[in-house]
């Protein structure tokens, strides 16, 4: 499924979790290589430049310090046999540097929160920015690594992304995969306002749910995962319904697609994906 992993860390607790999860997943990639990267951004360099008069001294000190910390972080890991760790320290803006160093790596692993506040490091909107702007899949790690993912939930919108989302879910799973699709029967409100009888509205609602279940089962089967995947349709506003299913299933990984069926979804990370990325209590994998 994936060729190689780029794991970004800012030396926060969550950054350490990202490194640990990347190393754990590496044997399942085709190269078993993890490129571990730390980006020294403008803020720390500005402070250092005020302390050193010599041109370039701040950059040298920052790179040397970050390189030592990254080497120490990697030395604390216990990679499986055959896994290669490649440290990289860069200076510049976070997103461009990550995209530049990625190369053939097609899975980016980051922590959910950074070492400062929710608007810095990998917190706040940065995971969403990475998922929106990058060509790689992005795994946002929130929880400690306790082995393989045992319960994986694949959120499907019944678009062309279904095979990729299911493929990524099966790749990451060391246990079971559940495919879930959310249906919001908004037509019911309009029908009620128009004076349609409750029985007729309920009939339409049940029909919409049945059609969604059939479409979900068919797409899962066409993607080649019918025998190994449980399919569930949940009702309600997609974000709330899917978060409810995350809690009900006890999943430790949620996999969802970056793109939906519209041009707007191609240009911006969809609102449902963005909210799930921010609010899901489990790790989240966004697939392009």
**pLDDT higher than 90, residue 190:** no
Higher pLDDT, 190 or 168: 168
Residue 148 near residue 174 (C-beta atoms within 8 A): yes
| β-pairing verdict for 229-235 and 137-141 | unpaired
CB atoms closer than 10 angstroms to residue 158: 15
Q: Cα–Cα distance between 30 and 251 in angstroms, integer?
A: 26
* Position 52 confidence tier, pLDDT thresholds 50, 70, 90: low
Q: Are 159 and 216 in contact (CB under 8 A)?
A: no
Label residues 210-235 b or e (16+ Cβ within 10 Å = b): eebeeebbebbeebebeeebebebbe
Average pLDDT score over residue span 246-273: 72
pLDDT at 46 over 70: no
For residues 137-150, average pLDDT: 93
Q: What is the pTM of this model?
A: 0.86
Model confidence at 123: pLDDT above 60: no
As a whole number of Å, the end-to-end CA separation of the chain is: 13
Neighbouring-strand partners of residue 287? 257
Classify domain 5-141 at the CATH class level.
Answer: alpha beta
Q: How confident is the model at residue 265 (pLDDT cuts 50, 70, 90)?
A: very low
Sole residue written with tokens 């995209």 = 99
Residue 104, Ramachandran bin (φ over 0: left; ψ between -120 and 50: alpha; else beta): alpha
Distance, CA of 156 to CA of 257 (rounded, Å): 7
Q: What is the mean pLDDT of the chain?
A: 84
Question: Across the strands, what pairs with 8?
Answer: 37
Question: How is the chain split into domains, by residue range?
Answer: 5-141, 149-287
Topology match between the domains 5-141 and 149-287: yes
CATH 3.40.50.620 applies to domain 149-287:
yes
156: CB partners within 8 A, 6+ apart? 162, 165, 166, 179, 180, 181, 216, 219, 220, 257
Task: From 117, 115, 104, select the one nearest 39 (Cα to Cα).
Answer: 115
Task: Please report how many Cα atoms fall inside a 13 Å half-sphere around the Cα of residue 73, on the Cβ side.
Answer: 31
């Amino acid at each position: 499924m994936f060729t190689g992993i780029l794991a970004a860390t800012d030396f926060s607790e969550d950054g350490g979790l990202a490194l640990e999860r990347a190393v754990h997943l590496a044997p399942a990639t085709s190269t078993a290589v993890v490129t571990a990267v730390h980006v020294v951004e403008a803020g720390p360099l500005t402070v250092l430049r005020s302390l050193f008069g010599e041109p370039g001294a701040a950059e040298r000190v920052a790179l040397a310090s970050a390189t030592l910390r990254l080497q120490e972080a990697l030395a604390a890991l216990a990679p499986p046999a055959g896994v290669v760790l490649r440290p990289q320290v860069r200076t510049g803006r976070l997103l461009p540097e990550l995209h530049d160093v990625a190369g053939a790596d097609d899975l980016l692993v980051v922590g959910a929160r950074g070492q400062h506040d929710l608007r810095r490091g990998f917190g706040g909107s940065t995971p969403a920015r990475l998922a929106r702007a990058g060509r790689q899949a992005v795994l946002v790690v929130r929880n400690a690594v306790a082995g393989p993912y045992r319960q994986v939930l694949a959120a499907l919108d019944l678009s062309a992304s279904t095979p990729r989302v299911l493929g990524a879910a099966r790749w990451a799973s060391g246990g079971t995969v559940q495919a879930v699709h959310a249906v919001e029967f908004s037509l019911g409100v309009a029908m009620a306002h128009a004076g349609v009888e409750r029985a007729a509205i309920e009939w339409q609602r049940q029909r919409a749910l049945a059609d969604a279940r059939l479409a979900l089962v068919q797409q899962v089967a066409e993607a080649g995962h019918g025998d190994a995947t449980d399919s569930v349709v949940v009702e309600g506003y997609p974000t709330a319904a899917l978060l409810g299913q995350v809690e009900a299933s006890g999943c430790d990984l949620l996999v969802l697609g970056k793109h939906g069926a519209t041009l707007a979804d191609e240009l911006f990370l969809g609102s449902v994906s963005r909210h799930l990325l921010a609010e899901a209590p489990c790790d989240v994998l966004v697939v392009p």
